[in-house]
Amino acid sequence: MDFHHIPVMLEECMTGLALKKGGRYFDGTLGGAGHSYEILLRTSPDGELVATDLDEEAIENGEKRLKEFEGRFKFFNTNFKNFNEVLSLSGGEKFDGALLDLGVSSYQLDNRERGFSYMASETRLDMRMNSKAPLSAWDVVNKYDKAKLSYILSVYGEEKFAEKIASVIVERRKVNPINTTGELVEIIDKCIPYKFKQNGHPAKKTFQALRICVNEELDGLSEGIKDIIRGLKPSGRLAVITFHSLEDRIVKQTFKDLETDCVCDKRLPICVCGKKREINILTKKPIEASEKEKEENPRSKSAKLRIIEKI
């Protein structure tokens, strides 16, 4: 299967990064390499790119997709949250800009073997971005107890019927393991009243929750963003695209914390915390995709872009 991926808010990201010829950039979520390609193209002839991705197939695709820029990029099959290690391994020089396109790629959703999509009924439950990771969605669905399942669906999926879905899953797997995405969708569909099925697919929230859990998407996100920002040169920029409220909330709060100066009790006569403002937030409100892009690429409908500049 071809690794097809339409980069979300491409022009907005490139403009936001204020790309410059010969600059050094970091793409923490290589994916289909759409954003990476444009970064290399627009920083020609000697701009440099360092990119990471948990998915080996994304790395392999990136090598092919960016072949015309050979010698100007380095890829690491790891999580962007391991930024400090990647920075060291790539030479230690700080970056002029960085990009994070969070969430699952179109390729991963469309590749039925990966088990991300609730639209592919006969696919084994998986959802691992790193196919070598020990925990899959099958393990979560078939091994976690009711309380833990309910918590995951409620917190990561913001699913109001989390407890009911968890109960039915636990009862159903006593008879046979729940092996496929289709079997799970059938369970979810029966747990959600008809009037609550009007705003999108009834399994969307549960699948989101399982994916976030399996890939530990929210764990260490704030710390990873801070590491990346501290790996930028002065005036370097970071652009982050989020696709659901949970990760967007973390990004927004992390930026707010880094933009804040002294956090001492206001009653103190002088600052004793030593905290200094590290960034300027350039997007007071997140940028959203144009109506045209939303029509052409449905994945962009929930996307929010936030951009900061390092002081």
**What are the structural domains, with CATH classification, of the chain?**
10-103+218-310 (3.40.50.150), 125-215 (1.10.150.170)
What mean pLDDT is reported for the chain? 93
Q: Give me 141's structure tokens.
A: 């669905």
Tens-place pLDDT, residues 125-175? 999 999 899 999 999 999 999 999 999 999 999 999 999 999 999 999 999
Comparison of pLDDT for 270 and 39, the residue scoring more: 39
Q: Is 268 exposed, middle or buried (0-12, 13-18, 19+ CB in 10 A)?
A: exposed
- As a whole number of angstroms, the distance between CA 240 and CA 250 comes to 11
Q: Give me 255's structure tokens.
A: 């930026």
Give the pLDDT confidence score for residue 74 in this predicted structure. 98
User: Could you give the residue ranges of the DSSP H alpha helices within the chain?
Assistant: 10-17, 34-42, 56-65, 83-89, 106-110, 137-143, 146-157, 162-172, 181-191, 204-215, 221-230, 245-259, 291-296
Comparison of pLDDT for 28 and 103, the residue scoring more: 28
Residue 105, pLDDT > 80, answer no
Residue 3, pLDDT > 60, answer no
Residue 296, pLDDT > 60, answer yes
Give the pLDDT confidence score for residue 178 in this predicted structure. 97
Give the pLDDT confidence score for residue 200 in this predicted structure. 82
**pLDDT band (50, 70, 90) for residue 110:** low
Tens-place pLDDT, residues 204-228? 999 999 999 999 999 999 999 999 9
Give the pLDDT confidence score for residue 4 in this predicted structure. 60
Residue 68, pLDDT > 90, answer yes
237: left (phi over 0), alpha (psi -120 to 50) or beta: beta
| The one-letter amino acid at 155 | V
What is the reported pTM?
0.92
Residue 231, pLDDT > 60, answer yes
